[in-house]
Amino acid sequence: MLRFDLLSTEGHARRGRLTLNHGVVETPIFMPVGTYGTVKGVLPQSLKDMGAQIILGNTFHLWLRPGLDVMAQFGGLHRFEGWDKPILTDSGGFQVWSLGGADGKGRKITEEGVRFASPVNGDKLLLTPEVSMQIQTVLNSDIVMQFDECTPWQTAGVLTTEAQARSSMELSRRWALRCKTEFERLGNPNALFGIVQGGMFENLRQESLDALVEMDFPGYAVGGVSVGEPKDEMLRIMAHTPHRLPAHKPRYLMGVGTPEDLVDGVACGVDMFDCVMPTRNARNGHLFTRYGDLRLRNARYKTDERPIDETCACHACATGISRAYLHHLDRCGEMLGPMLTSIHNLHYYLNLMREIREALDAGQFAAWRQRFAEDRARGV
């Protein structure tokens, strides 16, 4: 089940409400990434407390471990990981792309699907559009993503040509139809999203978009960005594609990105975002604040008594935990450090989206966006 209500707009920016089998999601929204069925270092209740409405699971990795027999025993991913709100699962396409390595030789792509060796035990595996749909049906995720080929920006240092991008896009388009056919055959009661591909070529993006809209998916994603291309290239595609998707269906920008990327994405008509950046950066002492980024490992924070962000209401900031203490935990390799910083970064991202929703509700997004840029430029 999927219902999307478009509540208001300001330019291309949209305020919406997404109703799924496991709950309601207010958009625009950021979705924390839980690759192996967990958002690293963060309790499910902590996610709820900070305002997470929907999280991600990783089809590819959960297929390998713990496996579909375990997932079926628990009736899907929700009960297995103790999360009763909506879940989106990716299709495995991005992992296939990343497994290829810099030269793309780590997997073999054919019309049938992708053959590769399991990174867990070396078993020879074949992932097809049909298998991806079968896995995600067992996972019972509220939003299922089509299996696609994530078109690389470059391979072995050589930029992807338009001809190569077209071949990749057309393969994803054919796979999209196979996914839809299998999804319907399985009687999956959830929602299947198509993924717009086409590399850095607007004409190919438009062809992909038109074909997917003709297939009439319940929602659409923009994939194949943030795959190593320069920021201006990503912004060009982000400015071109989302607002051309159907206005009455949700739009998801995959794997993006910084706070500025999220704000720019909303301005371009995006409703949903995900990225590992808040948690991955947190584990490396890179924190996001209203007034810019903080590099916790800098020696200047060794004696800094201030919280990460004095305007933040996350557990770490609200209880007065100091930058000095977090610097100490990081230097000592104590697990509490990345737990607290992950909570902070995720809280920052989710609060950022809440502020955007409130600004859109008030018809003040443009003014809010200007203040956001000024605050972020101020520095910590």
Looking up tokens 């979705």 gives 31
Q: Has 90 been labeled as part of a binding site?
A: yes
Tell me if residue 309 is catalytic: no
Q: Has 344 been labeled as part of a binding site?
A: yes
Tell me if residue 5 is catalytic: no
Three-state SS across the chain? CEEEEEEEEECCEEEEEEEECCEEEEECEEECEECCCCCCCCCHHHHHHCCCCCEEEEHHHHHHCCCHHHHHHCCCHHHHHCCCCCEEEECCHHHHHHHCCCCCCCEEECCCCEEEECCCCCCEEEECHHHHHHHHHHHCCCEEECCCCCCCCEECCEECCHHHHHHHHHHHHHHHHHHHHHHHHHCCCCEEEEEECCCCCHHHHHHHHHHHHHHCCCEEEECCCCCCCCHHHHHHHHHHCHHHCCCCCCEEECCECCHHHHHHHHHCCCCEEECCHHHHHHHCCEEEECCEEEECCCHHHCCCCCCCCCCCCCHHHHCCCCHHHHHHHHHHCCCHHHHHHHHHHHHHHHHHHHHHHHHHHCCCHHHHHHHHHHHHHHCC
Q: Has 93 been labeled as part of a binding site?
A: yes
Q: Has 92 been labeled as part of a binding site?
A: yes
Q: Has 197 been labeled as part of a binding site?
A: yes
Active-site choice (261, 274, 304, 330): 274
Q: Which residues are part of the catalytic machinery?
A: 90, 274
Annotated binding site for Zn(2+): 312, 314, 317, 344
Annotated binding site for substrate: 90-94, 148, 197, 224
Annotated binding site: 90-94, 148, 197, 224, 312, 314, 317, 344
